[in-house]
Structure 1
Amino acid sequence: MSEQESHHLEESSAESLPEFKATRNYTGPDEQQSWWYIKRWSQDWKSCYNSVPFYISKEGFRTRREYCGTRKALRIRFENTNEIGAFIKITNSYCLLCSEDESASFLKTVKGDLASETPVINTSLAGCRITGRMCVGNKNGLLLPETVYDTELQLIQNELPDSVKIHTVEERLSALGNVIACNDNVAIVHPDINKETEEIIEDTLQVEVFRHMIANNPLVGSYCVLNNHGGLVGGGISNVELENLSSLLQVPLVAGTVNSGSKVIASGLAVNDNLAYSGMKTTSSEISVIESIFKLSKACPPC
């Protein structure tokens, strides 16, 4: 094929393709939260295809959204706050969050992002909505404060997978999410936590437990978030301490922030091995660090 014929074919193909515009109306009722994927892909494809607008069918969009959305760091807001980590706890086998009628769309979005077999349990803990700060868990177990209501405990027991152990903890430091950080293999805890609580953590979560501080701050659960691939640490930690902690936990760690500079990592971030939620104020550079350290980035399949 000559260069002239090739050029003519490209021009005719460009004319036959419809102008691609990303609008909320393009998606169906169940896809309103993901309309921005279309806009992003449209811009990427225009650059890849020499500014030729690329059209994708609804079926193709849904397929690519499902593929690309399974391993990503996503910005999200709970009602009017960016402190997303205070209201949600996600692990590799279940999710706990506190969502009321006015935030039903938040609950629906989370259910859509997680794997279909992952139960999403909508509950408060001890009457408090800050579910993410009141509990701690991994794929093996879940620890709740002793003050949790019987109705809340029963609901959680009914919804959790049978493989997940659940235990209530009598502990002076009752906001367990602030004093414990863990993944499926290891945990670091507040230095002053009870010995009995430490034993319960080892037995229920099936992890190795270390007492530690982060930059002389004992609230390790607030300043550190872990999954099985890595961890993000805030609080002004030094490089030497970061290396020692990484060696202790046997996962790579990096110092960083969320929500445009906040060092209280766990308040603005919730992760498992496949997904991360951060507040809407989280910058692009912060998102990049989150995707990198937690191994969430995954290239889109070829068009």
Structure 2
Amino acid sequence: MSSDNSNCDITPTRNYTSSNERDSWCLIRKITKENDLPHGDPWLISKQEFRMRKMYVWSEIEAVFRLQYGGSNEIGAFMRLTNSYCLIGGDPQKYEKVEGMIEGDIQWGSVVNTSLAGCEIVGRLCVGNKNGLLVPEMTYDTELQRLKEELPETVKISKIEDKLSALGNVVVCNDSVALIHPDLDRETEEVIADTLQVEVFRHMIANNPLVGSHCVFNYYGGLVNPDISQNELENLSSLLELSLVPGTVNQGNKLVGSGVICNDRLAYAGMKTTAREFTDIEKAFHLR
């Protein structure tokens, strides 16, 4: 497809990512010509600039985007995304651009750059939803205080004292239901139910107890390790009352929790995620 800028030497590239964003480009291109919006050819702008223009057309984003964090495609290890906040681990100055991009995308929630027990892998160490946040017992008091100051007042924060301290690997949830590692303590299960305000089920996925590594879901559906049997897939879908899609991320990685983060309106996947995997992710989370 040719650009309107006939004198431009730059080869136009389609910077949209999700399968239906081509229509967004066409509409934004038309609006840009007819209204007083940022000037330039939408076919030549960057992904981030495209997202900014897209805000003029839709009041809410509902899409999947590719993302790399600190050179890693395992974005689920460094981030925790919910319907009311997003936690990001790492040096605030080093990852300022990524943080700013996510702030622009989610608009409605808090983006907090923090560590947990001095570690950047906050996605693996914590789990949460719009109602609450669970952090490991080893979380520093200063980190806990920052979270209380930065997160919405409605978010309840609880420390978990359990030998299985990598909570992001052993718990997966949305705003109404959670799957947990079968060996988590009963007290831990009670704290999860109370803090996140969810119904809790002990379960494994494809014979693996690390449910947070092998499954990701939002209110509408989820992505699971493709090794799951058809019978287990149907039983788990019935248990959660969600449509589940087997799939991978980052060119065949079955640990979907390491490469995808999502909420009910938005998802990010690692940069290596293929077009076929992208289609499965959009289908899984019911995002366009």
Question: Above 0.5 in TM-score?
Answer: yes
Secondary structure class of the residue paired with 2:32: coil
**Corresponding residue of 1:227:** 218
Question: Cα distance 1:183–1:21, how it changes in 2: closer, same or farther (>3 A)?
Answer: farther
Q: Counterparts in 2 of 1:144-163, with a 5 A limit?
A: 144-163=135-154
Mean alpha-carbon deviation: is it higher for 257-266 or for 58-67?
Answer: 58-67
Secondary structure class of the residue paired with 2:69: coil
- Structure 1 unaligned spans of 5+: 1-16, 27-34, 298-303
Counting matched residue pairs gives: 264
Supply the distance in 1 between the matched residues of 2:260 and 2:122 (Cα, whole angstroms): 13
Identity %: 51
Question: Cα distance 1:147–1:270, how it changes in 2: closer, same or farther (>3 A)?
Answer: same
**Corresponding residue of 1:276:** 267
**Corresponding residue of 2:162:** 171
TM-score, normalised to structure 1, is 0.80
Question: Cα distance 1:214–1:19, how it changes in 2: closer, same or farther (>3 A)?
Answer: same
Q: Residue deviations 1:74-114, cap 9 Å, x none?
A: 00100211001111101001110113122221111111111
Residue 163 of structure 1: how far off its partner (Å): 1.0
Question: Cα distance 1:268–1:22, how it changes in 2: closer, same or farther (>3 A)?
Answer: farther
Secondary structure class of the residue paired with 2:228: coil
- In the alignment, is residue 113 of structure 1 matched against residue 92 of structure 2? no
Within the candidate set 37, 57, 79, 1:59 is matched to: 37
Secondary structure class of the residue paired with 1:59: coil
Within the candidate set 249, 252, 263, 1:261 is matched to: 252
Letter in 2 for 1:97: I
**Higher-helix-fraction structure:** 1
Q: Residue deviations 1:121-144, cap 9 Å, x none?
A: 100101110011100000111000
Letter in 1 for 2:95: S
Q: Counterparts in 2 of 1:68-79, with a 5 A limit?
A: 70-79=61-70
Secondary structure class of the residue paired with 1:36: coil
Letter in 1 for 2:161: E
Within the candidate set 199, 202, 205, 2:190 is matched to: 199
Question: Cα distance 1:222–1:158, how it changes in 2: closer, same or farther (>3 A)?
Answer: same
What is the RMSD computed on CA atoms of the aligned residues?
2.8
Secondary structure class of the residue paired with 1:96: strand
Larger Rg: 1
**Corresponding residue of 1:36:** 15
Residue 55 of structure 1: how far off its partner (Å): 8.3
Supply the distance in 2 between the matched residues of 1:194 and 1:235 (Cα, whole angstroms): 28
Secondary structure class of the residue paired with 1:111: helix
Is the CA contact 1:214–1:235 (under 8 Å) kept in the aligned structure 2? no
Letter in 2 for 1:59: L
Secondary structure class of the residue paired with 1:218: coil
